[in-house]
Amino acid sequence: MANRIPRVPVREQDPKVRATNFEEVCYGYNEEEALLEASRCLHCKNPRCVAACPVNLQIPDFIAKLAEGDVQGAAEIVAKDSSLPAVCGRVCPQETQCEGSCILGVKSEPVAIGKLERFVGDFAVSQRSQNRGESEEFRDFAESQNLSTSSDPTIPLRCMVPPLPCRGRHVPAGSGSAGIAKIAIIGSGPAGLACASDLAKMGYDVTIFEALHKAGGVLEYGIPEFRLPKEKVLKPAIDSVKALGVKIETNVIVGRTVTIDQLMDEEGFKAVFIGTGAGLPKFMGIPGENLNGVFSANEFLTRNNLMKAYRSDYMTPIHAGRKVCVVGGGNVAMDAARTALRLGAEVHIVYRRTEVELPARREEVHHAKEEGIVFDLLTNPVEVLGDEKGWVRALKCVRMELGEPDESGRRSPVVIPGSEFEITADTVIMALGTSPNPLIARTTDGLETTRRGCLVAAEDGATTREGIFAGGDAVTGAATVILAMGAGRTAAKAIDQYLKNK
Amino acid sequence: MYTILSKEMLTPNICRMRVKAPRLASSAKPGQFLIVRADEKGERVPLTISDYDAAEGSVTIVTQKIGASSADIISFEAGEAFADVVGPLGLPSEFLKKSPEELAAQHYIFIAGGLGTAPVYPQVKWLHEHGAKVDVIIGARTKDLLIYTEELGAVCDNLYICTDDGSCGFHGVGTAQLEALVAAGEKFTQAVAIGPMIMMKFSTLTCRKLGIPIVVSLNTLMVDGTGMCGACRVTVGGKTRFACVEGPEFDGYEVDFDEAMRRQTQYKAEEAAENEHHVCRIGRGK
C-alpha cells in the first residue's frame, strides 16, 4: 500500500549552522526522494487538495507524472496553473491549503505537496536556463539533484514556456490592424506577475510598472534569502515572465511618477490591473514607539533583503543590536526574528496569544524555535522604554490570558491586571501587519476603497471604475502569495473578457 | 538609464548634476524630492529636486559630500549613468493650491541653509512666476559655501545673504537677519525654512516669536520613500506622520524637532563603520 510509506523527510541545513548564515534553510528533495514521496499520493477521485489550492493546481496529475519519473511532464502540468511553482513550493502555507486537506493527513502525514511542487519548479528553472544556455549554475544544480536531462545533448529540450490553459488558439482583443491591446500592470509582486503572465500568454502587450528598483514585490523586499533565494529562485521566475514578452519598467510610482489616467489617456493602455499589495506598516500607537531602535519589520526586512544589508559589499546600514524583541506572530514576524538572529542578536518573539493562534506557517515557527528564537507568548507590549539618549532600553509588557473568541473565531486575549513587567532589549521590531498604500486610490477618480483602505473589487477583480481591475493584498489586505496569484489569474480572465466585449 | 547630462562643482564639496529622467521630469512639482541609487550596491539616497525640465526630460540634483553614499554619487561624471532615479516623492508645496488672488496677497520669506538652498530655488521660481512677493535669506558658514545666489537673485524680490563669519553679506545667522528685517518694518505673511534640522528648529522658534507661520521641509531617514518602511516617522502635532508620503513639508510649529534630530542619528554608528571600511568603487563597471 502506497500510503504505508512514511512521509519522506526533507533535508535541511543544521539549525546551529544556519543561524549564522543567510543560505536557504531547506535543501528540498532530490529526484529519488521526490519520486518516493510522489508514490504516496492516493490519487483521490475528488481531490480535496485541488479545491483547497487558490490556483487549483492539478496536484494529483502532476504527482502522478512525477511518480512515473516524468519530471518534465509534471512541470508542464504545474505550469498550466502556476507561473511561480518554485516560489509557491517554498512559501505557501500548505498545511492550511493543499496538505491540510490531504486525505492521508487524517490518519498519518499528508503528501508533501509543497516540497514536490518546489522540486518540479526548480527542475523547470534548471531546464529553462539550460535551454537558453545562460547559466552553468543551474545545470550544476540539475546534476546535483540527479535530474534526468535529455539523453542526446544536441537536441534542445522543449522550452518550458508554459502552454496555454485554453483550448485552441487564443486571439487577444484588439489584435486587428490597430495592434494588440496594451495592458498596464501596477506592481510586480505575486498578483501582478501572475496576471501579467496569463495576459501575455493570451497574446496581449503587457507592461508591469514597479515602484522599487527591482521587480518581485514582497518576494524581493519582504521574504528573506534563507526562505526564498533571490538569484537561484526568484530571478529565474521573473525572467520566465519576461520571456513571455512582458515588459517591466522599474522606478515608476503610479500615482506620483505617472497616474493611471495618464497611462490610459496618454499612453494608450486599454486596461489596468492594480496589484500594489499591502505595503504600509502598522504600529501599535504605544508610548516610546518613535525611540531610536524601534523599526517596522518592513524597514528591517527591506534593508536586509532588497538592499542586502547583510552583505558587506553593499552600503546599506542595518541595526540589529544585541537583544531584539519582535512584536507579532505572523510570517513577517518570524522572518524579521530569524533575520535579526542571523545578524547576531538574541531574539524574542512577543505575541499576545498562544502558540496555537500564531498566524505564521507552522514550518516557520518550527524553524524559528530550532534556531533558538525565544517565544514570549500571552505577552503584550504597553510601552517602549528609552535611555537618556533616546534609544530603546526595554519593552514594558503585560501578561495576557485568552478570553472569548472574537469575530475571526480566535479567542481574544485579555490583560491580567497588575502583570506589568519589563523585557530588556535594545531593538524592537514591530511586525503587526500592513495595510494597502492609499496613493493610487487618492490619485485616481472613481476608485472606491473600504473603511480599511482596501480597493473595492468584484469577484473577478473589476473595481468601481471601468477598465481598472485589482487583486491581491491591495484588495484583501495582507494575505498570502498564492491568494494574490489566484486573484491575478482571475483578473487576467476578466480583463480578456472586458476587452473582447468592448 | 539615468544618464548624467552635466556636472559642475558649486563648492569643493557640493555638486550639481542634470540627470535624464523623463517621466520624473514631467511630473515633478516644487516641494517634492527624489531618490537616487548610484549603482547596484549603493543605498537609496533621498535628494531634493533643485530644478526640472519636462521638455528636456531632465531633473537637477544638488549633492553635498557627507558620507560614503553621497561621495559615491558625486564620483559620477557627465556621460555616466546612475542605476536608479525615482520620483517625484512626497507632496507638492501647499502654495500650489492657492489662487492667483491669494498668492498676490502673500509676502513669502524663504530661509535657506547650506544645501537646503537648492530646493528653495524651484519654489521661489514658481511663486515669482505666479505673482507672489518673495524674499530669500541664504545662510552659510562662510562665503565659499554659498550656492544658488545668482539663480535665486534672478527670481526673487529681495535676496539677503548671511555668513556666520561675516565674509559676505549680513554677519550672522539667517534667523538674526530675519529678526532685523522684521524690526525694520518688513511684514512677512509666510516663512519657509529648508536646511539642516537644527536650522529649521531655530527658524521655527524665531518665527513663533515674530508671529509668522512657517513651513519646514524635513530631511528624514528613508529607504523606499513610498510609505513602506516607516524610517521617516516624525511627530507632528502629537501624531506620528510619515515624512515621505505625508510630507516632506510640515507646519514648523507642530514638528517635534528634538525627536527628528535624534532619529536622524539612528544609523550613525553603522555609517561610521561603513565610512571607515568603505572601499571606493569609483570607476566601477567601466
The 10s digit of each residue's pLDDT in B51-87 is 999 999 999 999 998 888 899 999 999 999 999 999 9
* Residue to test with chain A: of B223, B276, B277, most A Cβ within 10 A: B223
Gap between the Cα atoms of A78 and A124, Å rounded? 10
Check: CB of residue B5 under 8 Å from CB of residue B19. yes
Q: What is the count of residue pairs from A and B with beta carbons less than 8 Å apart?
A: 108
- Reported confidence tier of residue A502, pLDDT bands at 50, 70, 90: confident
pTM: 0.91
Which of B227, B259, B274 lies closest to A315 in CB terms? Answer: B274
Gap between the Cα atoms of A238 and A126, Å rounded? 14
Question: Would the CB atoms of B270 and A319 count as touching at under 8 Å?
Answer: yes
Q: How far is B117 from chain A (nearest CA, A)?
A: 24
Question: Would the CB atoms of A283 and B230 count as touching at under 8 Å?
Answer: yes
Residue carrying C-alpha cell 491549503 = A97
Phi, psi of A422 (to 5 degrees): -115, 140
Q: Encode A304-317: b = buried (16+ Cβ within 10 Å), e = exposed.
A: bbbbbbbeeebbbb
Q: Which of A35-49, A128-142, A260-274, A359-373 is predicted least confidently?
A: A128-142
Per-residue pLDDT tens digits for B214-245: 999 999 999 999 999 999 999 999 999 999 99
CB distance from A290 to chain B under 8 Å?
Answer: yes
Gap between the Cα atoms of B204 and B281, Å rounded? 40
Which pLDDT does position A135 carry in this prediction? 44
Using a CB-CB cut-off of 8 Å, the residues of chain A touching B263 are 290, 292
Region A104-133: mean pLDDT is 88
pLDDT(A475) > 80: yes
Question: Would the CB atoms of A211 and B86 count as touching at under 8 Å?
Answer: yes
Q: Which chain B residues have any C-beta within 8 angstroms of a chain A C-beta? A: 23-24, 27, 37, 41-44, 68-69, 72, 83-89, 223-224, 226-231, 233-235, 240, 245, 259, 262-263, 265-267, 269-271, 274, 277-278
Gap between the Cα atoms of A125 and A233, Å rounded? 8
pLDDT(A286) > 50: yes
Which pLDDT does position A447 carry in this prediction? 94
How high does pLDDT run on average in chain A?
90
For every residue of A190-209, DSSP letters joined together read: HHHHHHHHHHHHHT-EEEEE
Question: Would the CB atoms of B41 and A313 count as touching at under 8 Å?
Answer: yes
Which pLDDT does position B60 carry in this prediction? 97
- Reported confidence tier of residue A169, pLDDT bands at 50, 70, 90: low
Region A451-478: mean pLDDT is 94
- Reported confidence tier of residue B156, pLDDT bands at 50, 70, 90: very high
Q: Quick one: DSSP state of residue B255?
A: B
Tell me which residue of A399, A415, A411, A430 sits closest to A329, measured CA to CA.
A430
pLDDT(A409) > 90: no
Question: Would the CB atoms of B223 and A303 count as touching at under 8 Å?
Answer: yes
pLDDT(B107) > 70: yes
- Reported confidence tier of residue A364, pLDDT bands at 50, 70, 90: very high
A355-414 residues touching B, CB cutoff 8 A: 389-390
Bridge partners for B35 per DSSP:
B46, B86
Question: Would the CB atoms of A257 and B223 count as touching at under 8 Å?
Answer: no
Q: How far is A252 from chain B (nearest CA, A)?
A: 7
Using a CB-CB cut-off of 8 Å, the residues of chain A touching B70 are none
Using a CB-CB cut-off of 8 Å, the residues of chain B touching A319 are 266-267, 269-270
Q: How far is B26 from chain A (nearest CA, A)?
A: 8
pLDDT(A158) > 80: no
pLDDT(B246) > 90: yes
Which of B87, B265, B278 lies closest to A256 in CB terms? Answer: B87
- Reported confidence tier of residue B178, pLDDT bands at 50, 70, 90: very high
Q: How far is A248 from chain B (nearest CA, A)?
A: 14
Per-residue pLDDT tens digits for B110-153: 999 989 999 999 999 999 999 999 999 999 999 999 999 999 99
CB distance from A298 to chain B under 8 Å?
Answer: yes
Using a CB-CB cut-off of 8 Å, the residues of chain A touching B235 are 290
Gap between the Cα atoms of B86 and B45, Å rounded? 10
Per-residue pLDDT tens digits for B182-216: 999 999 999 999 999 999 999 999 999 999 999 99
pLDDT(A2) > 60: no
Region A373-386: mean pLDDT is 97
CB distance from A313 to chain B under 8 Å?
Answer: yes
User: What is this model's ipTM?
Assistant: 0.92
Which pLDDT does position A149 carry in this prediction? 44
Gap between the Cα atoms of B129 and B122, Å rounded? 10
Per-residue pLDDT tens digits for A37-69: 999 999 999 999 999 998 899 999 999 999 999
Q: Which of A149-158, A215-224, A269-278, B271-280 is predicted least confidently?
A: A149-158
- Reported confidence tier of residue A406, pLDDT bands at 50, 70, 90: confident
Q: How far is A408 from chain B (nearest CA, A)?
A: 27
Tell me which residue of A230, A340, A328 sits closest to A281, measured CA to CA.
A328
pLDDT(A156) > 50: no
Question: Would the CB atoms of A251 and B262 count as touching at under 8 Å?
Answer: no
Which pLDDT does position B278 carry in this prediction? 57
Which pLDDT does position A1 carry in this prediction? 47
Using a CB-CB cut-off of 8 Å, the residues of chain B touching A298 are 228-230
Gap between the Cα atoms of B96 and B121, Å rounded? 15
Check: CB of residue A7 under 8 Å from CB of residue A112. yes
Tell me which residue of B215, B217, B220 sits closest to B262, measured CA to CA.
B220
